[in-house]
């Protein structure tokens, strides 16, 4: 069986932490980015939101032309540090967020976030936009939404000599588990509705 977008349906296996659950969609076989892209396409198709992955600006330096019909880029550099992964519009509000996944079982390392990303998110909040981070713990197949304001608290603590990671248990208690659905694999707008509207 294939998904509507042509992707093959992954084999369903039991979740190690929830053997008795009947509503687990484990081993979906896609990265967080893939799942968000599928979700965003569904939002766009349903005219619910216009949110896209930001392209990373690249400066191409050298190109080889082995044949007339083919060009091979042999040297390129990032033009500038990227800000966050996704942005767009939802219900008249600017939405901007970062997406990260970790195989770590106990913490989310703050080394996955960069200072310029925090500054960017602070600017979004300052100007009335909605900003957050989506974190997936791949081993548990759990995906959480953390509002930027909570991330700022953990970041500030790190800068002042505190922990360099966020405990999984703290994320589980204070952030928002994003529901998985067939067409909206990372249905983050359900959480955005609850928090911001």
Residues in the annotated binding site for Mg(2+): 83, 85, 98, 117
Token pair in block for residue 96: 């901007």
The annotation places the binding site at 83, 85, 98, 117
d(CA 113, CA 189) in angstroms, rounded, equals: 22
- Cα–Cα nearest to 167, from 127, 99, 96, 107: 107
- What's phi and psi for 142, nearest 5 deg? -120, 135
Pair 39, 188: CB distance under 8 Å = yes
* CA 137 – CA 175 distance, rounded (Å): 13
Distances (CA, A) of 69 to 11, 65, 98: 40, 8, 37
- Distance (Å, rounded) from C-alpha 102 to C-alpha 108? 7
């Amino acid at each position: 069986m294939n998904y509507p977008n042509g992707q093959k349906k992954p084999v369903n296996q039991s979740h190690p932490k929830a053997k008795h659950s009947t509503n687990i969609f484990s081993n979906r076989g896609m990265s967080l980015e893939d799942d968000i892209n599928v979700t965003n396409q569904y939002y766009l198709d349903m005219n619910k939101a216009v949110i896209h992955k930001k392209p990373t600006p690249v400066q191409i330096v050298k190109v080889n032309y082995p044949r007339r019909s083919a060009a091979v880029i042999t040297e390129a550099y990032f033009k500038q540090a990227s800000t966050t992964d996704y942005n767009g519009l939802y219900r008249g509000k600017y939405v901007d967020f970062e997406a990260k996944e970790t195989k770590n079982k106990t913490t989310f390392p703050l080394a996955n976030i960069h200072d310029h990303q925090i500054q960017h998110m602070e600017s979004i909040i300052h100007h009335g936009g909605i900003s957050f981070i989506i974190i997936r713990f791949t081993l548990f197949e759990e995906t959480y939404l953390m509002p930027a304001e909570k991330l700022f608290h953990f970041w500030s603590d790190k800068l002042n000599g505190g922990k360099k990671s966020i405990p999984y248990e703290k994320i589980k208690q204070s952030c928002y588990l994003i529901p998985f659905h067939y067409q909206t694999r990372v249905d983050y707008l359900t959480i955005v509705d609850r928090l911001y509207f």
